[in-house]
Structure 1
Amino acid sequence: MKETPLCLSVGHLLSYSMSDSNTTNFTNPSTFILLGIPGLEAAHIWISIPFCTMYAIAILGNFTILFIVKRELSLHGPMYYFLCMLAVTDLVQSTSIQPKSLSIFWFNSREINFSACLTQMYFVLSFSVMHSGILVAMAFDRYVAICDPLRHSTTLTNTVMAKISLAVVLRGIMLILPYPFLARRWPYCRTNIIPHTYCEHIAVVKLACADISINSYYSLSVAFLVIGTDVFFIAVSYIHILRAIFSLPTKDARLKTLGTCGSHLCVILASYIPHLFSALMQRFGHNVALHFHVLMANMHLLVPPILNPIIYGVRTQQIRDKLLQLFTHKGT
C-alpha cells in the first residue's frame, strides 16, 4: 500500500498551527507543534500506557541503583561509580522526552517553545554520547580487573576515575554543542509542525527552507566518530579479556570470570542494537510508515534505561544481595 504523504497526514493540523504560530513567512518560530505519533493520533491514550509504564520502570530502577550504591560502602568502586553515571544518563534521557510525550498523549499539549525544542534536542543527543562513553569506561574497568587484577586498585584510582568521567562528560557536551546552533541559524518559513513526539534532530532541521547538508554531514560524522570509536575500543578490550579468560586453567574459573562481564555485555547490546536499528531505518527505510519511524526513535531511548538497572540488578550478585537485604530489613 502506498504511503500517505506527510503533507496529507498532518493536513488536519495546518489550520491549528497557522492560527497559533503563523506558519507562513516566519523565521525561527516562537513555537513548534509536535504531532505525537502521526497516523495514530486516535490511539494516543492507549499508546501512553506502555510509554508511561516504561518511564516509571526506568525512573524506579535507576533511582534504586543510585540509592543502593550510595548506601552501601562495599559498592564504592569503579564499576559501580560508572554504573551510577550510566543510571544518571538514563534518567536524564528519559526525562528529556517522556513528560512532553505523555502531555501530548494525555492533554493534546502539542506546542513546544523553539528554544525549549533545541534544548531538548541537545540533552537527548549529548547524553546519548555520554552514555556510549560510559560503556567504554566500563569496558576498560573490566579489562583491568580481569587482565591485570593486581593493579586494578592502583590503576583506577579516584583521580583517574574523575579524569575519565570528566572526559566522557566534556566529549558529550562539546560534540553536540554545534547541533542547536546549526538548527537555530536556519529559516523555518514553510511550517513549524514536527511529525514526532520530541524534537529529534533530523525531524526539526528537515523543516528548514534552506540547504541543511552541513547538519547531515556533521550528524553522520559524529555518529561514525562516537559509535565507531567506542565500539572499536570496547571490542579491543573484550578481545584481551577473552584471551585472558580462555587462558585460565579450569572451566569453572573461566565461566566465573566471564560471568563478571555478562552484565556489561548485555547492557552494550541493549544500548547499541536499538540505536543501530533506528539509525539504519532512518537512513534507508524510506518506504517504512512514518509512525513506525517515530516509535523506533522512541524505543531506542526508552529501552536501555529500563533494561540497564534490571540487567545489573539480576546479574550482579552484590547489587542483588543488597537489594534483597534492603527489602528483607524493611519487611522485618
Structure 2
Amino acid sequence: MINSTRVSFFTLGAYFDTGLFKYFLFIIVMLLYILIVCANVLLIVVICVNRSLHEPMYLFLCSLFVNELYGSTGLFPFLLLQILSDIHTVSVPFCFLQILSVYTYASIQFTNLAVMSYDRYLAICCPLQYNTRMTHNKVAMLITVTWLYPFLAILILIFLTAPLQLCGNIIYKVYCDNYSIVKLACSDTTVNNVYGIFYSFATVFLVFLILYTYMRILKVCFSGSKRTRQKAVSTCTPHLASLLNFSCGCFFEIVQNRFDMKHVPNMLSIFLSLYWLTCQPLFNPVMYGLNFTKIRITCTSVIFGKM
C-alpha cells in the first residue's frame, strides 16, 4: 500500500542553482513587473478619468487591464522572492491562494475576451440596436459575470483538490499548480479529473465561441464598404491578437502538464510555463494602447501633463 500523508508545505522543484546569475534574473523580472504595473495602471487611469472613454468597449478593456494587474500580483512578487531564495518551499495555504489567483486570472482573461467579442459583434453587425442592447446595466452585469464565474469555478476546483491525500510534496514548477498537486495524490482523483475535463471543455468552447463571433463580424465587414472593413479590422485585430497570444501560452502550459517534457531544456520549460502569465499583461497594454486612437492620444496627454 502506498503511504500517504498530510503535507504542510510544497517544494518547488523546477528551481535550480544559478549562482550570481540569479541577481541578473531578479533585476530582469523586477523590471518586467514594474513595466507591467505602470502600463496597466496608466491605461486604467486614462479610461477612468476621460469621460469620452466611458463606453462599453473601453470599460471592458479597463476590466481586462485590472485583471492583468491582479494576475501579475499573484505571480511576480512570489517569483522575485523565490529567485533570491535558496530554499524553494511554500506553505499549503499560500500555495492554494496562488492557484486561486493564477487560475482565476486565466479564466477571467478568456471570459473578458468573450464579452469583448460580443460587444464588437453588436457594434459592427447590429449598429442600429447597439445602444439599446448594450446599456449601462448590461455592461455592469457582464463585467460582474466576467469576474464572478471564474472565482466560483476555481473555488470548486480548489475545494476538490484540498482534501486529497498526497504521496509527496514536490511540484516541478516555479509556481503552484493545481494539476501538479492532483498528480501527487494517493487517493481517488476521479472527481477532480472529471471536473478538470469539464472545465477545460468549457474554456475551449468559449475560445471557439469567440472565434465564431469574429468570423461573423468579418463576414459582415467584407460584404460592406471599404470604410466599414477598415474600422472593423482596426478594432478587431487587437482582440484576436490578444486571444491567440494567450491561447498559445495556455496551450504550452497544458502540453507541459499532460506530457513528459524531460527532454526539454529546463530554462525553456520554465519560460514556456511562465509565458502565459508574463507576456500577456505586457502584450495587451501595448496592443490596445497603440491600436486605439482615443487611448493613444489620451495616454500622451496624461504622460506629458496636457490633460
The TM-score with structure 2 as length reference comes to: 0.90
Which aligned pairs between 1:84-103 and structure 2 lie closer than 5 A? 84-103=62-81
1:104 aligns with 2:82: yes
Task: Tell me how far apart the structure 2 counterparts of residues 196 and 253 of structure 1 sit (CA, whole Å).
Answer: 47
Alignment-derived partner of residue 253 in structure 2? 278
Deviations 1:78-100 (A, max 9, x none): 11111111111111111111111
Aligned partner of 2:172 among 170, 174, 195: 195
Q: Which range is displaced more, 260-269 or 200-209?
A: 200-209
Letter in 2 for 1:322: T
Larger Rg: 1
Task: Tell me how far apart the structure 2 counterparts of residues 325 and 298 of structure 1 sit (CA, whole Å).
Answer: 34
Shift of 1:283: 2.0
1:204 aligns with 2:209: no
Alignment-derived partner of residue 37 in structure 2? 59
Q: Secondary structure, in 3 states, of the residue corresponding to 1:185?
A: coil
The answer to whether the Cα contact below 8 Å between 1:103 and 1:109 also exists between their aligned partners in 2 is no
Q: Secondary structure, in 3 states, of the residue corresponding to 1:150?
A: coil
Letter in 2 for 1:219: G
Q: Which range is displaced more, 252-261 or 25-34?
A: 25-34
The answer to whether the Cα contact below 8 Å between 1:38 and 1:290 also exists between their aligned partners in 2 is no
Alignment-derived partner of residue 277 in structure 2? 301
Aligned partner of 2:264 among 285, 289, 310: 289
What is the total number of aligned residue pairs between the two structures? 304
1:327 aligns with 2:303: yes
Task: Tell me how far apart the structure 2 counterparts of residues 304 and 172 of structure 1 sit (CA, whole Å).
Answer: 18
Deviations 1:62-89 (A, max 9, x none): 1111110011000001111111111111
Shift of 1:268: 1.3
Aligned partner of 2:155 among 177, 189, 207: 177
Identical-residue share of aligned pairs (%): 29
Check 1:84–1:28 CA distance in 2 against 1; reply closer, same or farther (3 A cut).
Answer: farther
Letter in 1 for 2:201: F
Check 1:69–1:111 CA distance in 2 against 1; reply closer, same or farther (3 A cut).
Answer: same
Task: Tell me how far apart the structure 1 counterparts of residues 147 and 232 of structure 2 sit (CA, whole Å).
Answer: 30
Task: Tell me how far apart the structure 2 counterparts of residues 41 and 212 of structure 1 sit (CA, whole Å).
Answer: 36
The answer to whether the Cα contact below 8 Å between 2:48 and 2:54 also exists between their aligned partners in 1 is yes
Check 1:306–1:217 CA distance in 2 against 1; reply closer, same or farther (3 A cut).
Answer: same
Task: Tell me how far apart the structure 1 counterparts of residues 17 and 244 of structure 2 sit (CA, whole Å).
Answer: 30
Task: Tell me how far apart the structure 2 counterparts of residues 194 and 231 of structure 1 sit (CA, whole Å).
Answer: 29
Aligned partner of 1:232 among 208, 215, 218: 208
Unmatched segments (≥5 aa) in structure 1? 1-24
Deviations 1:158-180 (A, max 9, x none): 11112212222222022112222
Deviations 1:135-172 (A, max 9, x none): 00000111111111122222111111122122222220
Q: Secondary structure, in 3 states, of the residue corresponding to 1:197?
A: coil
Q: Secondary structure, in 3 states, of the residue corresponding to 1:54?
A: helix
Unmatched segments (≥5 aa) in structure 2? none
The TM-score with structure 1 as length reference comes to: 0.84
Q: Secondary structure, in 3 states, of the residue corresponding to 2:279?
A: helix
The answer to whether the Cα contact below 8 Å between 1:28 and 1:114 also exists between their aligned partners in 2 is no
Check 1:206–1:44 CA distance in 2 against 1; reply closer, same or farther (3 A cut).
Answer: farther
Alignment-derived partner of residue 15 in structure 1? none
Task: Tell me how far apart the structure 1 counterparts of residues 16 and 85 of structure 2 sit (CA, whole Å).
Answer: 17
Letter in 2 for 1:278: E
Which aligned pairs between 1:1-332 and structure 2 lie closer than 5 A? 27-35=5-13, 37-39=14-16, 41-42=18-19, 43-108=21-86, 110-188=88-166, 190-226=167-203, 228-249=204-225, 251-289=226-264, 291=266, 292-329=268-305
RMSD: 2.3
Q: Secondary structure, in 3 states, of the residue corresponding to 1:202?
A: helix
